[in-house]
Homo-oligomer: A and B are copies of this chain.
């Protein structure tokens, strides 16, 4: 398969590439690196990236930013100045726009795999934006799955905090069992190389 992997330079993206590269052709995408430059917050950048990547059998996202902030520091605000704006524009709508544009470039029965995360169901302090965005992505995936044409499929991978991220994130995820990126990468393999659609693969 020809697979476009967005967020290829991140901890998760590198593990996904390592899992899939032995069996498939990986076109790497990233904001500042990779075969193809792509800025998920800019629909025109997404279009250009797909035009460059050519025809694909799978599109994978291991990308998306959200802002972590204590709820007490978050006040009612228009989206442009809201703490929630980044998560909605980047991790949520960036991936949704990636999925929407992917339809035009995927071969029949091709797949789209987005990333959510454990905070959908297991919240942490400072994580309300991440929870909100992850919940939105998972519900979007279930809904988009039933309307995609030509046998196209869409799933989400919802990993717990990565072992590799613990030096940075441990104080926020006390008591959570960290997940090796190699385990999260297996869920991407299951989405891309399996046949299911509308699934959320939880790796916790």
User: Which residues in A have some Cβ–Cβ distance to B below 8 Å?
Assistant: 43, 46-47, 70-72, 74-79, 82, 84, 88-89, 92-93, 96-98, 100-101, 119-121, 123-128, 130-140, 142-149, 198
Residue ID in chain B nearest A139 by CB atoms: B135
User: Nearest 4 CB-CB pairs, A to B?
Assistant: A135-B139, A131-B143, A136-B136, A71-B147
A132/B143 contact (C-beta < 8 A), A79-B93, A93-B82, A148-B71 known = yes
Contact across chains for B131 and A135 when beta carbons are under 8 A apart: no
Q: For the complex, give the distance between the alpha carbons of A146 and B131 in Å.
A: 12
Quote the shortest CB–CB distance from A50 to chain B (angstroms): 9
Q: For the complex, give the distance between the alpha carbons of A101 and B76 in Å.
A: 6
What is the interface of chain A mostly: helix, strand, loop, or mixed?
helix
Q: For the complex, give the distance between the alpha carbons of A145 and B133 in Å.
A: 16
Residue ID in chain B nearest A42 by CB atoms: B78
Q: For the complex, give the distance between the alpha carbons of A29 and B110 in Å.
A: 47
A132/B140 contact (C-beta < 8 A), A76-B47, A79-B88, A97-B77 known = yes
Contact across chains for A147 and B93 when beta carbons are under 8 A apart: no
Contact across chains for A123 and B135 when beta carbons are under 8 A apart: no
Quote the shortest CB–CB distance from A116 to chain B (angstroms): 9
**B residues near A128, Cβ cutoff 8 Å:** 140, 143-144, 147
**B residues near A93, Cβ cutoff 8 Å:** 79, 82, 84, 88
Contact across chains for B72 and A149 when beta carbons are under 8 A apart: yes
Residue from the list B47, B76, B146 in contact with A46, Cβ < 8 A: B76
**B residues near A100, Cβ cutoff 8 Å:** 74-76
